[in-house]
Amino acid sequence: VNQFHTPVLLNETIDLLAVKPGKTYLDATLGNGGHTQKLLDRQAIVFGLDYDPNNLEIATQRLSNHPHFSNFHPILGNFKNLSRIYKKSIHQPLDGILFDLGLSSNQLLSANRGFSFNDSHSLDMRLNRRQTLTAEYVINTYSFDELYQIFTKYAQEKYAKPLILRIIKQRQSHPITQAARLADIIRDYYQQHHLNTSIDPATKIFMALRIFVNDELENLKKTLHQTLSVLQSHAIVCVISFHSGEDRIVKSFIRTNSQQVLNLTPKPVLPSLPEIQQNPLSRSAVLRSYRIK
Ligand SMILES: C[S@@+](CC[C@H](N)C(=O)[O-])C[C@H]1O[C@@H](n2cnc3c(N)ncnc32)[C@H](O)[C@@H]1O
């Protein structure tokens, strides 16, 4: 098995970005460096940003053997601060920016960060330890109404009400400090009510918590707006999203700013059947792109 995250819609992204030797890109979600590796293969100059110091380290290590490693510049930071990061660490014209949203497979599977259903150590879910809010805090202290908001807004969870009642009952007897225990509470409910699902019933609530803890939708809105001031004319932005809430933000951003940006994907780009078969994590991916006029 490949230890690194498998990049999604890789060729489609490289084509849209019209990558050529000497062009300069920001990979705003470096991850394990899968997309950046391909950009370096094409002799582009790449600034690689990630908010997770662990992934920044993994990608930098991995790329250190690349023949064009000297074209790579790692940056630790949150893309919600795009303008500030640009001024401080990039300050040269960019030909494009890539956002490959969400989490990498090594983060999702990690045994002690709280993202995985099997994690019996943690319910943390922060990308970066400098953030104050954790999923553990949310699950153990938020009111019924607050949890209801999160579960329905970010996950459209049909059984939000009974699930939250169970969580509250459980946390009263013993704080919920492990992702595995939270997953079991959700699964037990589904099982006891004979509710069959094609994917693990805990998936949606885990995703909702992660999106909330890391403020993912707000960060996306903020950074898309900043692309308008950071980028010069003709620069291209690609966004790969994995959640209808994210995709709606990208779609509406492009529509609302049609004076300033040209929509390069009137039809969003989806993974091919072979890609989905090879990499099931790609199944929900949607790629949209725009060019600054
Ligand atoms: C799906 S992975 C990217 C995978 C990468 N394209 C590859 O092929 O290896 C998303 C990455 O974005 C990072 N990330 C998520 N939100 C971020 C943010 N607001 N600012 C910076 N990085 C972020 C995550 O830590 C994760 O490493």
Query: Of 252, 244, 254, 255, whose CA–CA distance to 285 is shortest?
Result: 244
Looking from the CA of residue 32, the nearest atom of ligand 1 is 9
Testing ligand 1's pocket by substitution, the residue of 39, 40, 51 carrying the most ligand atoms inside 8 A of its CB is: 51
Q: Sign (positive/negative) of CA torsion 109, 112, 115, 118?
A: positive
Please tell me the distance between residue 171's alpha carbon and the centre of ligand 1 in angstroms. 32
For ligand 1, atom 22, the nearest C-alpha belongs to 50
What pLDDT score was predicted for residue 2? 63
Instruction: Give residue 33 CA to ligand 1 midpoint distance, Å.
Output: 9
Ligand 1 atom with minimal separation from the 50 CA = 22
79 C-beta closer than 6 A to ligand 1:
yes
What beta strand segments (E) does the chain contain? 24-27, 45-50, 72-76, 96-100, 236-241, 261-263, 286-292
Ligand 1 centre to CA of 7 (Å) is 11
Q: State if residue 32 touches ligand 1 by the CB under 6 angstroms criterion.
A: yes
Judge contact between 97 and 26, C-beta under 8 A.
yes
- Model pLDDT for residues 113-150, shown as the tens digit of each residue: 999 999 999 999 999 999 999 999 999 999 999 999 99
Res 199: pLDDT:
86
- Mean of the per-residue pLDDT values of the chain: 96
Q: Tally the residues of the chain.
A: 293
Asked if residue 49 has its Cβ within 6 Å of ligand 1, the reply is yes
From ligand 1's centre to the CA of 99, what distance in Å?
8
Q: Under a CB-based contact definition with an 8 Å cutoff, are residues 62 and 4 in contact?
A: yes
Q: Is the shortest distance between the CB of 31 and ligand 1 below 6 Å? A: yes
Instruction: Report the relative pairing of strands 45-50 and 96-100 from DSSP bridges.
Output: unpaired
Q: What is the pTM of this model?
A: 0.96
Distance 46 CA to ligand 1 centre (A): 15
End-to-end distance of the chain based on CA atoms, in angstroms? Answer: 43
Ligand 1 atom closest to Cα of residue 27: 6
Q: Is 7 in the pocket of ligand 1 (CB under 6 A)?
A: yes
Whether residue 282 has its Cβ less than 6 Å from ligand 1: no
Atom of ligand 1 nearest to the CA of 78: 20
- CB of 110 within 6 A of ligand 1: the answer is no
Give the other-Cβ count within 10 Å of 142's Cβ: 17
CA–centroid distance, 75 to ligand 1, in Å, is 12
The ligand 1 atom at the shortest distance from the C-alpha of residue 223 is 19
Q: Which mean pLDDT values do the consecutive 10-residue runs of the chain (293 residues) have?
A: 88 98 98 98 98 98 98 98 98 98 95 95 97 98 98 92 97 98 96 89 95 98 98 98 96 98 98 96 96 98
Please give the pLDDT value at position 102.
Answer: 94
